[in-house]
Chains A and B, each alone.
Chain A
Amino acid sequence: MNKPFIVSASIADPLLAVPETGKAILDAAEATGLDLLVVGRAGARPFDAQVVLAWAAPMSARIGLVATVPASNAHPFHVARALSAVDFLSAGRTGWSVIPEGAEQGMAEDMVGAARALWDGWGSDTLIIDKASGRYLDASKVKASNYEGPFFKVAGPVNAMRPQVGQPVLVVDAAAAIAIEDADIALVDDAGEATGATKRLLKVDASADMAAIAARFEAGEIDGVHFTLSDAMAELPAIATLCADLREAHPAGPGNLRESLGLPLPATASNQPDGARVPEIA
């Protein structure tokens, strides 16, 4: 099976949060064929990446949208809810990256645990929405989360439905002080670095040796690359050129973000094999 070569970039430019410039940057990111746009990063606020994602959802069609969430300035109930909404509005293209910036030790992990518990309070086949029978949902598929961690205690479930991707794709930066063993994607500085994640993206810049990267990809050491953008409009075209061959040989698949990148749905009791469904209604 041909696994996709994943191309990701992070952007923390305040110009992304202004409509005129933001639209141009987003269009350029899509034109580059980026799989993931990680919005925000440690040391670079001030804008709320979850709100940027809400704006970007209808403005984009294919790109995975990842919100950076500083654990010190967020609450899992609000985060779980906002990301669930972004995921529906983007038809399943949502991810998140919790950063421990400014937070006490353990808080970022607690944020992840709490939000996951909130999403898991909904079965993926909860909604019925049948006008004839009058049944809107199956109550047996809704359960309290009752999460209790060192920082957050949340009854749950999230009051807005499970995201289509089950849980948004979790991205961790291996350089950050966050101990998550089951992330979907890790951004690593060194291909040998030990981090528990389904996929590993090597952090590179525009001078990267693509032949060496291709070799590491073929050897299964890495699943793609991650660029840190400082001048998006200048750098995005260069990234497109750099990654063109590898992308063409190993394209992402169709479907939502998990499907297209080959990331499994989180295995929770309430998540069905084919993910959350909203019934079609005439």
Chain B
Amino acid sequence: MTKQIHLWAFLQGIGFYPTAWKHERARPAGVFSMDYYASVAKLVEKGCFDAIVFGDQLQSRGAGGRTPERMAMPTLDPVTLLTAMGAVTRHVGLVATISTTFNTPEMLAERFATMERMTGGRAGWNIVTSVHPDTAGNFGLDEMPPKGERYTNAADVVAKACELWAQMDRAGPALPQGRPVLVQAGQSPQGRDFAARTAEAIFCPAATIEAGVEFRNDLRSRIAAVGRNPDGTRVMPGLSCVLGGTEDEARANHKAIMDLADPALAIEYLSESLCCDMTGFDPEAPLDHEHVIANTLLPAADVARAVTPAGEAGTPLREFAMNFMLNPRGHNVFIGTPEQMADMMITWRDEGACDGFTLQPSYMPGGLEDFVEGVIPILQQRGRYRTEYPGSTLRETLGLSPRVEDAA
């Protein structure tokens, strides 16, 4: 019995790389137009993906007094985009990220219930607690609630939202899936425990097959430990790619994307990612990891893990920033031919590193087109990927129970 591969398309913004918007096949202004979202939604559906996923950030652009001029805008509101994409498609699932820290259960239950009805049962909720410290100011707070508190609150918000959906479902019109599919993205032990109790699908980074196996096994044992069935949860690590007809061509394509970034841009992006302004530092001087750790607005321990080894080795800031750009978010990045990529995906699936992948095209829409035209037909020929949708709701597509009868 060959294991089927699930696929999600993570389409927030204009691609995986911060320079992606400058690529000759990128359409950066598209993210402000319905035409763009309609065409990529139809392409994803043609590729039979389970779902489109949008992340979300609630901090303002330009918060903290610096507005990077050379980086594409992350997003319009994900629920809005996904509902509009749902209006022009029939099958593809729609997973929207919404924070439990900055929404009441009433607010988000109402939004998702409407989305769920209007899209005929294709809604999913990527449950996040928001990390970026500058988010607090947009909701009248001076600082973020501590992580433990955010996760405790998240459990309450999810429980209350499920209750509200059960009520709405009974009152009608029915919610086609009973409630949206619950998705989680988070990595720490707290995040994993929360996922184990709640999630029907998980979006996570796994840079290597070993990391994927470790994560999935760990999650499955945590799920079993809380008395749920591990087969009721799909683990969907991120996957970015740059393809080419030959390996050399793929490498050249990748180099062309990297060449769109100069060191100053890389440092600007690093500053954004680590929440510490390093744009005024000498690019040739060693990365000042102590300064970064002392001044980052993110949890210092997480940032320390990312910068300490390079800082202690005396790596120049420029070099660290350029390397950071090669793999900014800890996901698996594949460079090669479509055949090789299909082989890799099948191996990961067979080795238990994942149930499928969350594709993060390197630039948009070209990177998505290359994958849909190049890789999907190969997976289909090998019998590892669907050629049509099994039903109409996201639960059916994911192979989960078709409806949650009493969500509460």
A interface vs B, CB < 8 Å? 14-15, 17-19, 22, 45-48, 50-59, 73-75, 77-78, 81-82, 84-86, 88-91, 121, 127, 129, 131, 134-139, 142-144, 152-161, 278-281
Chain A residues whose CB sits within 8 angstroms of the CB of B173 once the complex forms: 14-15, 17-18
Interface-central residue, A50, A78, A90, by most chain B CB under 10 Å:
A78
Minimum CB–CB distance for B371 against chain A, Å: 23
Minimum CB–CB distance for B142 against chain A, Å: 10
Cβ A46 vs Cβ B168 within 8 A:
yes
Cβ A75 vs Cβ B76 within 8 A:
no
Cβ B137 vs Cβ A85 within 8 A:
no
The residues in B between 8 and 28 inclusive whose CB is less than 8 angstroms from any CB of A are 21-22, 24, 26-28
20 A-B pairs in the complex with CB atoms less than 8 angstroms apart: A22-B118, A47-B114, A54-B80, A57-B84, A58-B38, A77-B102, A77-B139, A81-B76, A81-B77, A82-B79, A85-B81, A127-B29, A129-B28, A134-B70, A139-B66, A139-B68, A142-B62, A155-B137, A159-B74, A278-B33
Minimum CB–CB distance for A122 against chain B, Å: 9
Q: Give CA–CA (A50, B137) in the complex, Å.
A: 24
Chain B residues whose CB sits within 8 angstroms of the CB of A91 once the complex forms: 33-34
Query: 9 other contacts beyond A82-B79, A88-B76, with CB at 8 A cut-off?
Result: A17-B173, A19-B120, A55-B84, A75-B139, A89-B37, A89-B84, A137-B67, A143-B62, A161-B76
Residue from B38, B104, B139 within 8 A of A154 (CB atoms):
B139
Interface 9-residue window, one of B53-61, B226-234, B297-305: B53-61
Minimum CB–CB distance for B349 against chain A, Å: 34
Chain B residues whose CB sits within 8 angstroms of the CB of A78 once the complex forms: 77, 102-103, 107
Closest chain A residue to B74 by CB distance?
A159
Chain A residues whose CB sits within 8 angstroms of the CB of B22 once the complex forms: 131, 134
Cβ A136 vs Cβ B73 within 8 A:
yes
Main secondary structure of the interface of A (DSSP, over half): mixed
Query: Lowest 10 A-B CB distances belong to which pairs?
Result: A155-B137, A85-B76, A153-B140, A85-B80, A54-B83, A139-B67, A51-B114, A142-B62, A54-B80, A48-B114
B interface vs A, CB < 8 Å? 21-22, 24, 26-29, 32-34, 37-38, 57-63, 66-77, 79-81, 83-84, 86-88, 102-104, 106-107, 110-111, 113-115, 117-120, 134, 137-140, 168, 171, 173, 265
Closest chain B residue to A80 by CB distance?
B77
Residue from A56, A139, A152 within 8 A of B69 (CB atoms):
A139
Interface-central residue, A18, A81, A90, A159, by most chain B CB under 10 Å:
A159
Closest chain B residue to A72 by CB distance?
B106
Cβ B111 vs Cβ A58 within 8 A:
no
Chain A residues whose CB sits within 8 angstroms of the CB of B33 once the complex forms: 88-89, 91, 278
Cβ B79 vs Cβ A90 within 8 A:
no
Minimum CB–CB distance for A82 against chain B, Å: 5
Chain B residues whose CB sits within 8 angstroms of the CB of A160 once the complex forms: 73, 75-77
Chain B residues whose CB sits within 8 angstroms of the CB of A77 once the complex forms: 58, 102, 138-139
Cβ B58 vs Cβ A58 within 8 A:
no
Minimum CB–CB distance for B18 against chain A, Å: 10
Cβ B118 vs Cβ A159 within 8 A:
no
Minimum CB–CB distance for B259 against chain A, Å: 12
Cβ A51 vs Cβ B71 within 8 A:
no
Minimum CB–CB distance for B154 against chain A, Å: 17
Cβ A136 vs Cβ B87 within 8 A:
no
Q: Give CA–CA (A48, B69) in the complex, Å.
A: 35
Closest chain B residue to A139 by CB distance?
B67
Closest chain A residue to B104 by CB distance?
A73
Chain A residues whose CB sits within 8 angstroms of the CB of B71 once the complex forms: 136
Chain A residues whose CB sits within 8 angstroms of the CB of B27 once the complex forms: 281
Cβ A17 vs Cβ B110 within 8 A:
no
Cβ B79 vs Cβ A54 within 8 A:
yes
Q: Give CA–CA (A181, B86) in the complex, Å.
A: 38
Closest chain A residue to B141 by CB distance?
A153
Cβ B118 vs Cβ A55 within 8 A:
yes
Closest chain A residue to B136 by CB distance?
A155
Closest chain B residue to A151 by CB distance?
B140
Cβ B86 vs Cβ A55 within 8 A:
yes
Cβ A279 vs Cβ B265 within 8 A:
no
Residue from A51, A135, A153, A155 within 8 A of B80 (CB atoms):
A51
Cβ B88 vs Cβ A58 within 8 A:
yes
Chain A residues whose CB sits within 8 angstroms of the CB of B24 once the complex forms: 131
Chain A residues whose CB sits within 8 angstroms of the CB of B72 once the complex forms: 136
Minimum CB–CB distance for A2 against chain B, Å: 30
Residue from A53, A58, A144 within 8 A of B60 (CB atoms):
A144
Minimum CB–CB distance for B283 against chain A, Å: 17
